[in-house]
Structure 1
Amino acid sequence: MSNLNQIGLNEAKTKELAILLNDLLANYSTFYQNVRGYHWNIKGDKFFELHLKFEELYNNLFLKIDEVAERILTLGFAPNHKYSDYLKEAEIPESKEVSDGHKAVSNILEAFKILLLKQRHILNLSDEIHDEGTNAQ
């Protein structure tokens, strides 16, 4: 039983899971900041619809970021917190052009694709080690 952590999960696999969750956190955080930029700077004929949707999305992302960080803590590790690290680690790139609605929506769809692939990988690992807490998120 010495290879189990404080919540009864395999230490080595839990460390691997925390690394993946920190990667997910970096991607969520970069995505969140991109969406804030879209919300603040969007222009064009779809301004009102997109402005409201972007606000709804970044509010949901804010909650998800907190859930991921708290899960990393529960697993016994520290969540990364520096944006400089997020930008180095994230697969989702920092958006440079944030005022074009079509480009913003395209970037959002691409970001969701990246996040879904990362989440599937995390779900497979957490299922393998019987980590129901991570699977429930």
Structure 2
Amino acid sequence: MSTSMKIDIGISDASREAIAGGLAKLLADSYTLYLKTHNYHWNVTGPMFNTLHLMFEAQYTELALAVDLIAERIRALGHPAPGSYRAYAALTGIPEEDDAPDAEEMIRRLVAGQETVVRTARSIFPLVDEAHDEPSADLLTQRMQVHEKNAWMLRSLLAS
């Protein structure tokens, strides 16, 4: 017979639950952006093909590692990490698409996706700060740095 041990890390059950809920949204946004970026990597065409193909690959590879870190933090807080397309679709702020955009529109949509992830991460900070949850704060800071930089680099491709 298995019994769960109470989690006693200095963060209340209610705070751990709220933070895990916010991180679940971050996980959903990150995974959705991963899928979108990987799709664009496969399907980009045009004069910037090689540049975008390689940039998209670097970004989706980084996202693949990030989703694991986010899910593991949710688990460390004592909650299950969402792991289905249905769960991600319900939690994400990044729209799914079924069209085939050109390269410039791909870039615009990825900028929007990167910025959505940043806003989601930023929205969790009040909960994390109040609970003195430094590991989650560190994770959020790292995620925001990556996504703000990616958005800047993508936006730079559109500047005339």
- Structure-2 residue corresponding to 1:55: 57
RMSD: 1.4
Deviation of 1:97 (Å) = 3.1
Whether the 8 Å contact between 2:24 and 2:91 is mirrored in structure 1 is no
Gaps spanning 5+ residues in structure 1: where? none
- Which SS does the other structure have where 1:72 is aligned? helix
Gaps spanning 5+ residues in structure 2: where? 1-5, 140-160
- Structure-1 residue corresponding to 2:12: 10
Q: What letter corresponds to residue 121 of structure 2 in structure 1?
A: Q
Whether the 8 Å contact between 2:24 and 2:74 is mirrored in structure 1 is yes
- Structure-2 residue corresponding to 1:70: 72
Partners of 2:16 and 2:90 in 1: how far apart? 23
| TM-score normalised by the chain length of structure 1 | 0.92
Q: For residues 38-65 of structure 1, what are the alpha-carbon distances to aligned partners after superposition, in whole Å with 9 as ceiling and x for unaligned?
A: 0001011110000000000001111111
Partners of 1:96 and 1:36 in 2: how far apart? 14
- Which SS does the other structure have where 2:96 is aligned? coil
User: More deviation in 31-40 or 99-108?
Assistant: 99-108
Within the candidate set 90, 96, 99, 2:98 is matched to 96
Are 2:117 and 1:125 aligned?
no
Are 2:27 and 1:22 aligned?
no
- Structure-1 residue corresponding to 2:45: 43
Q: What letter corresponds to residue 45 of structure 1 in structure 2?
A: P
Q: In 2 relative to 1, CA 66–107 (structure 1 residues): closer, same or farther, beyond 3 Å?
A: same
Deviation of 1:5 (Å) = 3.8
Identity within the alignment, % = 34
Q: What letter corresponds to residue 40 of structure 1 in structure 2?
A: W
- Which SS does the other structure have where 2:110 is aligned? helix
Q: For residues 93-130 of structure 1, what are the alpha-carbon distances to aligned partners after superposition, in whole Å with 9 as ceiling and x for unaligned?
A: 12323451111110111111111111111122111100
Q: For residues 51-100 of structure 1, what are the alpha-carbon distances to aligned partners after superposition, in whole Å with 9 as ceiling and x for unaligned?
A: 00000000111111111000000000010000122122211012323451
Partners of 2:71 and 2:100 in 1: how far apart? 27
Q: What letter corresponds to residue 82 of structure 2 in structure 1?
A: N
- Which SS does the other structure have where 1:81 is aligned? coil
Whether the 8 Å contact between 1:17 and 1:126 is mirrored in structure 2 is yes
| TM-score normalised by the chain length of structure 2 | 0.79
Count of aligned pairs:
134
Partners of 2:16 and 2:130 in 1: how far apart? 11
- Which SS does the other structure have where 2:98 is aligned? coil
